[in-house]
Amino acid sequence: MQNMQNAINGASLGGKIKVSTVHSMAVLGQSDPPSSGLFSPSYQPALKGLLQFHKDNGSPFAINPYPFFAYQSDSRPETLAFCLFQPNAGRVDSGNGIKYMNMFDAQVDSVHSALSAMGFKDVEIMVAETGWPYSGDSNEVGPSIENAKAYNGNLIAHLKSMVGTPLMPGKSVDTYLFALYDEDLKPGPGSERAFGLYKSDLSMTYDVGISKSSQTPPTPKTPVTPQPKPTATGWCVPKAGISDAQLQSSLDYACGQGIDCSPIQPGGACFEPNTVASHAAYAMNLYYQNSAKNPWNCDFSQTATLTSQNPTYNNCIYPGGST
């Protein structure tokens, strides 16, 4: 790494090209709870020099967190929701009392804690790989197109929200999805050959919402007169007293289901006030309005409720009301 950095500096590209190397989560000797994250003692001597290199050059420490593997070792339904950024009860870090609403944040923060414990808390973290397989062997738990689409889609929504992690709030960790295409000759369980968003024939395995075609606005269709419903549907809004962590989980879930969350992105009509509660309210309602409008479509693990009061404000229009 030092030789490569010297070559980059010699080519007057220092600061423009960063040098790093990738680590699996096995580099941690302790990761649960996240606040107790520590590097394995056997790796610490080598890591000390490597982390000093990162600090001196402003380059990131690269890690490969895979909530999929965490779920495989604990396949309870609540663990799946926690790993897929779906509404869940959350998990409290016994070391600092912080409630985590997804496994990705917990894994990344455990690395942050390990960096801090070695005196390198200012070294940035980069996620060099993360993903979820869409298929696997019959004895594997977790692989499916539904789960893969949920994980990658909700991860993208979480990163775009810029909420960050509990220990690194307000910023998005640079993250690379694994993988663009299947590695169809890779040995091991069937899931190892099924992480690709695309297949080797260039066909899309499933649409996670980042391809150019999936971002193209649909062709307007001739309006269809809606069939009357027997009751007023109203608007779906968060209940009072719900924590930001729970609302963030609901926000990530809603925006990961294909709705248009651009109004709550910077510059959007509903970006201000820039709070989790306000953004979650817009996203939860939009998800509900695009659903079958059953009561359970406005549940979000009992964090939301229906109201007859229109929450529209200024130029931020909330769709909904009586139908």
Q: What is the pLDDT of residues 278-302, one digit of tens each?
A: 999 999 999 999 888 877 788 887 7
| CA atoms in the 13 A half-sphere facing the CB of 164 | 10
Q: In terms of Cα–Cα distance, which of 169, 148, 134, 161 is closest to 254?
A: 161
| CA atoms in the 13 A half-sphere facing the CB of 235 | 19
| CA atoms in the 13 A half-sphere facing the CB of 215 | 7
129 is catalytic: yes
Q: In terms of Cα–Cα distance, which of 187, 189, 205, 188 is closest to 197?
A: 205
pLDDT for 257 equals 79
Mean predicted confidence (pLDDT) in 22-50: 96
Q: In terms of Cα–Cα distance, which of 301, 271, 272, 297 is closest to 286?
A: 297
Mean predicted confidence (pLDDT) in 56-68: 97
Of the candidates 99, 183, 272, 293, the residue annotated as catalytic is 183
Residue-averaged pLDDT of the chain:
89
Of the candidates 18, 99, 129, 160, the residue annotated as catalytic is 129
pLDDT for 259 equals 87
pLDDT for 212 equals 67
48 is catalytic: no
In this predicted structure, the answer to whether residue 98 has a pLDDT above a threshold of 50 is: yes
Tell me how many degrees the CA angle 298-304-307 measures, rounded to the nearest 5: 80
Per-residue pLDDT of 173-229, as tens digits, reads: 999 999 999 998 999 999 999 999 998 788 899 988 777 665 544 444 444 444 444
Give residue 303's pLDDT band: very low, low, confident or very high (50, 70, 90).
confident
Residues 298/236, Cβ–Cβ less than 8 Å: yes
Of the candidates 18, 140, 192, 293, the residue annotated as catalytic is 192
Tokens of 294: 């059953």
183 is catalytic: yes
pLDDT for 36 equals 97
Of the candidates 121, 146, 171, 186, the residue annotated as catalytic is 186
Mean predicted confidence (pLDDT) in 63-92: 94
Domains of the chain: 1-198 (3.20.20.80), 235-307 (no CATH)
Q: What is the CA radius of gyration of the chain?
A: 22
186 is catalytic: yes
Quote the pTM value.
0.72
